[in-house]
Structures are given as structure tokens and as C-alpha cells.
Structure 1
Amino acid sequence: ETHGRHEISAWGTLAGTYGAGDPRTPWTDCGAASSGCPSGNGADGQTIHYRQEKYPTKDDDIPVVKGTDMRLLEAENALLNADLVGAMAKINEARAFFGLGALVATTIGSITGGDGGGAHPTSMTGWDILDRERHLTNWLEGRRLWDLHRWNHPHLDGGGVVYFATVARRASCFPISDDECQVNENIDSTSKCFTS
């Protein structure tokens, strides 16, 4: 969906930095002479442009669910139950599917987030590894918001990927539509975003 759009870029994101060469996050540096991009820069003519190659056509199928995502959810469950060995086995099973080497966690830890927001690019705690692996495995598939919400991720409190937040706390779920609030008697009309 974003392949031909120069205002959308992997530059400055986890996929465009840590994910360079990662089969889960394919992108092309449009500044390279051999890139085949119509322009070497983004829409403003100045910003570096890394064109995503995961979904190169508008009719590419984006999976609703996939096995690697399920392995990472099993890893999350293991971490919730203080099973670091089990969590890493599931994470490494997902990585092996993409031909990536195994990772070794130092401790269970907690999600610390990276500088400026997003997943921490180098921490080797179980939770930071899971955060990073889910981010890269599910890149461009519309699942990140729910991870941020479920984990009360530090990224919700500021920072940014490309632009920095101008609010104290980012929204982590979609508000219920006004129409639904007006006709559904089961919804408290004063509350738009349920967090439990």
C-alpha cells in the first residue's frame, strides 16, 4: 500500500536501522543509483527515502494472522509466567522461520523502549527482545498499536519515530464512534476509550 508513496519511508524507523538486511523488513535505499526508485528522496525532496519492499503492489495480501505471530504471542505468555527459557525458544522458533540466528536473553527484564520511542534496538532482556521481534516480524501489518496498549509501552509517553509527540500521552486504542455511542445502550457515552 505504501510502496510507491514517497511520503512513507522506513528511514528513521526500527525497520530502517536495526532491520537493515532483515528478511522481515525489506526496503530499498532510494538514494542508491541502482535502486530503481523514481526519486532518491522522500516527498519533500530532501528527506532520505527507504522504500518498503514487503508489500510492493497495492494488491499484495497482508496476513490477518500467521504462525510467526502466534509463536511470539506464546513467547509473551511465557514471559508473563516468568519462563524466560520457554519465551526465548518461541522467539527463536519465529526467527528460524526467517533464517535468522538464535538470540540469548540476559534476564526477563521489562520493556524499556528505545531512545525517542519504539522498541529498544540493542537490549537483550526477554521483554525488550520480544518487543523488538514483534515490531520487526509484524512490520506494516497493523498490530503494533495493540502491543503498545497491552504492554503500556514507554513509547506511549512521548518520543517519536520520525516526529516527536506533542501530547503528554499517546492514544493506545481507537475511540468508539459517536454513532455507536448514541445507539448502543451498553456503552457509557461519557467514556470513548476503554482500557480494560
Structure 2
Amino acid sequence: MRTHHDSAVARVIVRWRGSLLGTVFLVAACDTSVTNPGLIPDRALDNPAAWPAVVIGARRALADALGSASGTGGQLLYWGAAVSYEINPAGSTGSFGIPPDVQGGLLLEATTNADWTSSNQARFVAEEAVRRFQRVMPDTLFATSPLVAQSYLYAGYANRLLGENFCQSVIPVQNPDGSLSPGFLGPSTLYLQRADTAFTNALATATASGKTDTATTNFKRVALAGRASVRADLATYGLANWSDVTADAALVPDTTRFLIPYSDQNTDQYNYLYWARAGTPYRAHTEWGTFYELYYRATRDPRVKWDSTGLNGDAAVARFGGLVPFWPEAKYAATTAPVRLSSGWEMRLLEAEAALVGGDTATARAKMDLRRATLTPVQPGVTFTNVTEAWTALKTERALELWLEARRLGDLRRWLDNAVPGDPPDGLYRDTNSDGVNDARVETMTTPVARSLCFAVGRNERETNPNIP
């Protein structure tokens, strides 16, 4: 069995080999003489029959990091939503709950350690799939293989997840013999640049296949959407060009979507955010006191739907002084509910943002209104009278369109880091005049105290990597 010295993920990677290829060893149920084969040798994954499972493993690792596998991370979407006010805590702090420090807006290394590990595992599994295929496939097959293209795609989204949600990067060093050594602390934008490269490689491989069928065309659009999104992140930091963002976005139709699936087979494969509000028994988060509470009441915008119940959350919330109403999000309505990673509608908002960067408020307005006109009920066009208000509208539209998709922290951080104009609506809203309406914003991401804008590098990384202080 090989050991991969890739930061904190090396010790758990064997889990994927066992879980994904277990079907190879299925036998007739009546044969009681079979011996459990135990862990699968790494070389078994070099067999062409195993290659599809390797790619499925990359997808599963990404799903786990984003919002599943409660025992090994999987709180990125959930806890990021809590810190950025997409949800508020409604009780539980333990299993499927929100820890006290996260309720208070902090994402510290001890609490987020498992998320650091699972997110880097998602990156490693996809990138290792590419390295494996490069080693075992004939060169002509590697350059055109859909399995290689898919591995690059998952590597792109895993690196985007890291770059948008973590404060710093730790990227392993590849040695001349192909092995990996522990990496060094770097800026999170290194993950975004790595994602850009992976998406570009996914596109190149799919194009080299020569296929023009619907599945290949859709695959290319998803890769373009992923690349456009990370190039927008990088462009905000002056590390990419907005013209490249819009060039990619223009090739992605409105109807394009890319979803990561979940399963109802066991809790480690559930959509974590949904299960934490499913009422069986968890009622751990609520839309009470968020911007989305009052916005949805007023507009019925289906992008941010939540359910009204007569219940309270499942425990008292110290920071709110007791029990709070349980009004759970309704975007995810089942344990199998997929999470969207990219869409054509996000591309229209990237085009709007690029227009604002260039001072073109008319184009920005038109791009933002495209989506609003398709909704049921139809939403009125955005309103603003100057460029600062236009930026506020753009930031609000991204909050609505990408709600609960693990994207908000990345947006807020890139805008705050680079002093982008406009006032996003994120915050805690309370009733300050006893009229029964939570319409007064009493907290933001920066006041009265600054909240975390990203997840910390995990404690295990700092304690086991000799290159990290």
C-alpha cells in the first residue's frame, strides 16, 4: 500500500479505495467461506476496469467536503453559511449543530480542522486520479479520455472550494520521483490559479476527444463556467483579466447547471445542511433574523425560499437569549438534494460585475434583470441611481442567486479585501422598535466585531507539517 505525503490527507486516502471498489469483491450471499480481503492494494486502481470508480471517488470526495460526511468534515457549506448570515443558529451545537465559536462568527483552526482535511482530500483525490491516469494510460488515450477530463473538472472545483473558503493554501511539493512532500503556507489565490489550470486542462481534453455530442458540449460549458468563476475571483485581486472572465461566461447558456449529488444510503452521504434542519430530530438553523427572512416575505423570490413553522429551534441559543423561531431554508428538501456548483445565471452576474468594473451600469442592470424576469413570481428589475448603488445591487443578486452554495464567504472576502464599492445586505436583523418585524440590521461582517471571512488552516496541518509554524 502506498502512502501519500499530501499534507493531512495521507492517512485517510485508503478509505476511498475500500469504499469505491468494494463491489469488486461481492459474492453470493450463501457462500459463508469467503474471507474478507481487507484494504485494496493501490495497484488495483491501475486496472482499466477500476478507472471509472477512481473518478467517482473524486466526485464523492468533493461532495463530502462541500456538505456531507459528518464524521470527517463536510461543514464547509453549513458553517460558512452560518458565519456569513445565510442562516442563523437555532439550537444544537453538537451533532449536526453549529458550534458556539461558529455561532459567534469565528472559523478557528481547532473547529475547522476536519473541514481542512476533507477539502484537501477532495483536491488530492482528483489530482491523484490525473497523475494515475497519466502514468497508466497510453499517451494517446490520456490526451482524449473523458475520465481524465472529468478528473480535471473535479480538481478544478475542489481547488475553487479551497480558494474561496480557506484563508491560506498549503500545496504539496512534487518530488522528481513523483512522490509528494509537505507544502508551505501560501495565499489562497494559489488554489484559484490551480483551479484555473485544471479547468483549462478539462476543456483541452474534452476538445481533443473530437466529440460533439450533447454530453461533451455540456461538459465544456461546465468547465468554462468553473473557469470563469475562478478568473473573476482572481481578477478582483488583479491576478486575471475581466475580459477573460466575460469571454468564458459568454459561451455558457443561461440554462447550464452543474450539480454535485448526494445519497440517502446513510448519514455520511446525506446533504448535511438539509439533515440539520430536517426535524428528525434536528432543527439546528433558521432564516429568522437573516436578510432572507424579510426579503422572502416581501418578494416570494423562489431562489431564497424558506418554510414557516410554528416550532422553535431544538435548543436555546445563547447569543439570542433563548429559543428562536424555526423557519428553515427550503432550497434543499431531501437528504438527496444536490448542490449546484455552477450555472449560466451566475455567468450573467459575472458579466454584470465585469460591466461595473468598467463603469457600464446600463449593461450591468440588463444582465442582472435577465434572471429576475424568469422567476415565478417575476421579480421587478433592480433599482439604483449611481455606481455605488449598482454595486450594492450586484452584491445582493449574487447573495440571492448563489444562496447556500458555499460561495458567499469567497465573495465577501474578495470584495472587502479589495475595497469594492457597495453595501451587501448580509447581517443579523432584529426588531428594534417592537413592531414584530426583524428589519433593523444590527450586525454586519465587520461590525460590531469582525467575523471570519474564511476557514483557518487546520490544526492537524500545523501540528504535523514541519513547514507550517
Q: Tell me the TM-score normalized by structure 1.
A: 0.70
Structure 2 CA distance for partners of 1:178 and 1:28, relative to 1, 3 Å: closer
Instruction: Please state whether the residue corresponding to 1:52 is helix, strand or coil.
Output: coil
Q: Offset of 1:131 from its aligned partner? A: 1.4
Alignment length (residue pairs) = 163
Q: Offset of 1:175 from its aligned partner? A: 3.0
* Corresponding residue for residue 306 of structure 2: 27
1:141 partnered with 2:420: no
Taking the TM superposition and a 5 Å limit, the aligned residue runs for 1:7-22 are 7-20=284-297, 21-22=300-301
| Alignment match of 2:450 (pick from 145, 169, 173) | 169
* Corresponding residue for residue 233 of structure 2: none
**Structure 1: how far apart are the matches of 2:466 and 2:340?**
31
**Structure 1: how far apart are the matches of 2:454 and 2:466?**
19
* Corresponding residue for residue 44 of structure 1: 315
Unaligned 5+ segments in structure 2 are 1-272, 317-322, 431-441
**Structure 1: how far apart are the matches of 2:451 and 2:308?**
30
Instruction: Please state whether the residue corresponding to 1:65 is helix, strand or coil.
Output: strand
Coordinate RMSD, CA, aligned: 3.1
Equivalent AA in structure 1 for residue 284 of structure 2? E
Determine what percentage of the aligned residue pairs are the same residue. 31
Taking the TM superposition and a 5 Å limit, the aligned residue runs for 1:22-101 are 22-31=301-310, 40-44=311-315, 46-98=323-375, 99-101=378-380
Instruction: Show CA shifts across 1:84-108 (max 9, x none).
Output: 0011111101212323222232111
Instruction: Please state whether the residue corresponding to 2:328 is helix, strand or coil.
Output: strand
Name whichever structure is richer in helix by fraction: 2
**Structure 1: how far apart are the matches of 2:366 and 2:334?**
34
**Structure 1: how far apart are the matches of 2:458 and 2:314?**
32
Moved more, 88-97 or 176-185: 176-185
Equivalent AA in structure 1 for residue 390 of structure 2? G
**Structure 2: how far apart are the matches of 1:74 and 1:23?**
22
Is this contact kept in 1: 2:392–2:423, CA < 8 A? no
Equivalent AA in structure 1 for residue 391 of structure 2? W
Moved more, 143-152 or 65-74: 65-74
Equivalent AA in structure 2 for residue 174 of structure 1? F
**Structure 2: how far apart are the matches of 1:51 and 1:175?**
27
Instruction: Show CA shifts across 1:19-54 (max 9, x none).
Output: 2211111111102xxxxxxxx222237311212111
* Corresponding residue for residue 105 of structure 1: 384
**Structure 1: how far apart are the matches of 2:361 and 2:386?**
7
**Structure 1: how far apart are the matches of 2:315 and 2:293?**
19
Instruction: Please state whether the residue corresponding to 1:17 is helix, strand or coil.
Output: helix
Q: Offset of 1:69 from its aligned partner? A: 1.4
Instruction: Please state whether the residue corresponding to 2:409 is helix, strand or coil.
Output: helix
Structure 2 CA distance for partners of 1:97 and 1:87, relative to 1, 3 Å: same
Q: Which has the higher contact order (CA 8 A, sep 6+)?
A: 2
Name whichever structure is richer in strand by fraction: 2
Unaligned 5+ segments in structure 1 are 32-39, 110-124, 191-196
Structure 2 CA distance for partners of 1:97 and 1:7, relative to 1, 3 Å: same
Instruction: Please state whether the residue corresponding to 1:29 is helix, strand or coil.
Output: coil
Instruction: Show CA shifts across 1:136-176 (max 9, x none).
Output: 111111111011011107989x9646895798432222333
* Corresponding residue for residue 37 of structure 1: none
